Copies of this chain bind each other. A is one copy, B any other.
């Protein structure tokens, strides 16, 4: 969301829907906007970051004019896709925290994070530009992701499912590079994540550094 022009807009932790700042958008417009973001996710994931704007408009079943009305340029669309992914990660954190036992919630959240990381990987090059243009985007996304980790990890810690001396931020700092570093093979990444999970779990052997 976040209207294109808003510059000095501060997003509170759980951004929620901050709609209706201006007139509330016509129904068809809102529907098409959502169709477009969904189509972009599909097409990017199928064809890679090189997918054309035409292909995305077609997948959404609208004309390119409509696409460009909603997203004045390619980067805005990429940004929207990314932001949606991050928000989805936050939603997932809330959902698993509400529906699952503390430890299974952690595992489910890890899965979701890997999905998120995969998209980010695909769009890495374009996201890099987006981050340069809007440094806020990166920091806000990071903050929301950290909140997601906190939500799940704090809860598990309070329930005694993860060790006392570990924070959401700690886990994020360990997991992020594993998922983001392209030179780590998926198979190795899987092992590393399991290793992190095991180390995070309460009852793991405790090492004291010399």
Residues of B within 8 A of A183 (CB): 131, 135, 138-139
Identify whether the interface residues of A are mostly helix, strand, loop, or mixed: helix
Contact call B209/A128, Cβ cutoff below 8 A: no
Residues of B within 8 A of A132 (CB): 182
Q: Does residue A45 face the partner (Cβ distance < 8 Å to B)? A: no
Q: Does residue A125 face the partner (Cβ distance < 8 Å to B)? A: yes
Residues of B within 8 A of A135 (CB): 183
Q: Does residue A176 face the partner (Cβ distance < 8 Å to B)? A: no
Residues of B within 8 A of A182 (CB): 128, 131-132
Q: Which of B124, B138, B139, B210 contacts A128 (CB 8 A)?
A: B124
Contact flags A132-170 to B (C-beta < 8 A → 1, else 0): 100100110000000000000000000000000000000
For the complex, give the distance between the alpha carbons of A131 and B124 in Å. Answer: 13
Residues of B within 8 A of A125 (CB): 124-126, 128-129
Q: Given A124-B128, A125-B126, A131-B183, 5 other A-B contacts at CB below 8 A? A: A124-B125, A125-B125, A125-B128, A125-B129, A128-B182
A-B CB proximity, top 4 nearest: A125-B125, A125-B128, A124-B128, A209-B209
